[in-house]
Amino acid sequence: MNYKAMTLAAFLGISTPAIIDVVMTQPALAQRYNYPGGTFADKDWAVNLSFNNNVYYYSGENRRNPNSYITLSGAVASGTNARQVYTWNNNGLKYQITWRPSDPNFIRLEVIQPNGKVILNRVLKAMKDEDFISP
């Protein structure tokens, strides 16, 4: 019998699961996004974010031009748990929301052209029902 080979096989058989647990990091599996929801706005822009049936929705408009209303679905989530980024694509334009759960009342809205030029970069505040003025 080859005791060296058997000892090595036994050692690897016992230690391999432990080695794999140490080497394999699981941030991608453990990462859970909170998906900010509700309406965020400033004097010019309003965005409503909602998560329904595993799809993240974006509805936005320029408050000075109601004909600018757009609805998008199916964001791609990226970033970290501390700084979450959601991106929707619309004919080459990227609509991107950045949100920090540690500061849940604010989002950053960016609209980026296909060439990478940022054409809109605004910080929007979470709105409550009483913040809206009825006509």
101-129 residue pLDDT tens: 999 999 999 999 999 999 999 999 999 86
Residues of the chain with pLDDT below 50 are 8, 15-31, 133-135
Q: Give the residues across from 70 on adjacent strands.
A: 60
DSSP tag of 51: E
Q: In whole angstroms, how far apart are CA 121 and each of 31, 44, 49, 80, 134?
A: 26, 12, 17, 20, 27
pLDDT for the residue numbered 21: 44
pLDDT of residue 118: 98
